[in-house]
Amino acid sequence: MPPFKLEEFSYKELEEFIKKEGIDTFILPVGTIEPHGTHLPLGTDALIPIAMGEYIAEKLKAILLPPIYYGVTTSLHGYTGSIRIKPETLEQYVYQILESMKMHGFKYALILNGHGGNTQALENAARNAWLNLRMAVMVVDWWTLAREKGLTQKILGKEGGHAATDETAMILATFPNLVKKKLYDPKSIYVYSNGIRAYPTPGTIINYSEKEGETEFKDQGSREYFEAVSKLILEAFIEFKSKVSSIVE
């Protein structure tokens, strides 16, 4: 496996590697620390982008940055172990990372987001990186893209949700030792409603419809799902680079 993790290079090795391989792209995984039912780890939203980043970086020939574990947790903040940072903090943090990478000659960034609460802050950082730095940035909410493209329903037979079948499948595929099936508790399920606002959310597994039902542990389909979603993101990013390359400095 070729080197691609930023933190594992010396600065001279990185300099030579970028020049030799013509690398102009980096990947930044971003998540948060919050509860995911009683069966998944607190770091689920970071662990999934980290695993996808490793998978994609090798195929894309991109540099993988160390992940950001902390994010904009709101309705689940307060459950034991949850950690929250403000949206403006995350936005500035990510923007300054993009700024540094631009200084080193990188032109393109793929931000792999694992947490919905981060989306607006990451979008703001990406927009400002383009307007101020002329760095082309794509932000991907993997679960939304997978659902839109029909992968979640096709492979898992579910629409997915927070700590639901889709996130569980991703952790089963990448960190199976962290999935605690014996601790799973269906009483943790909360069905979200557009007509209700409740803080904190009265459940740490969040479904978006009544029909979703209980979380299923898809041992057989989990790796297929992980690879299908990762390939979908890879293809989308390659297309993005191709279409904007003429206006990226």
* Per-residue pLDDT tens listing for the chain (249 residues): 566 999 999 999 999 999 999 999 999 999 999 999 999 999 999 999 999 999 999 999 999 999 999 999 999 999 999 999 999 999 999 999 999 999 999 999 999 999 999 999 999 999 999 999 999 999 999 999 999 999 999 999 999 999 999 999 999 999 999 999 999 999 999 999 999 999 999 999 999 999 999 999 999 999 999 999 999 999 999 999 999 999 997
Q: Write down the domain spans for the chain.
A: 8-243
SS3 content of the chain, % helix, strand, coil (to 5): 50, 15, 35
Residue 144's contacts (CB-CB under 8 Å, 6 or more residues apart) are none
CATH number of 8-243: 3.40.50.10310
Candidates 90, 105, 98; CA nearest to 130 is: 98
Before 200, cis peptide (omega within 30)? yes
Candidates 164, 165, 148, 147; CA nearest to 156 is: 165
pTM over the 0.75 mark: yes
The Cα–Cα gap between 247 and 191 comes to 44
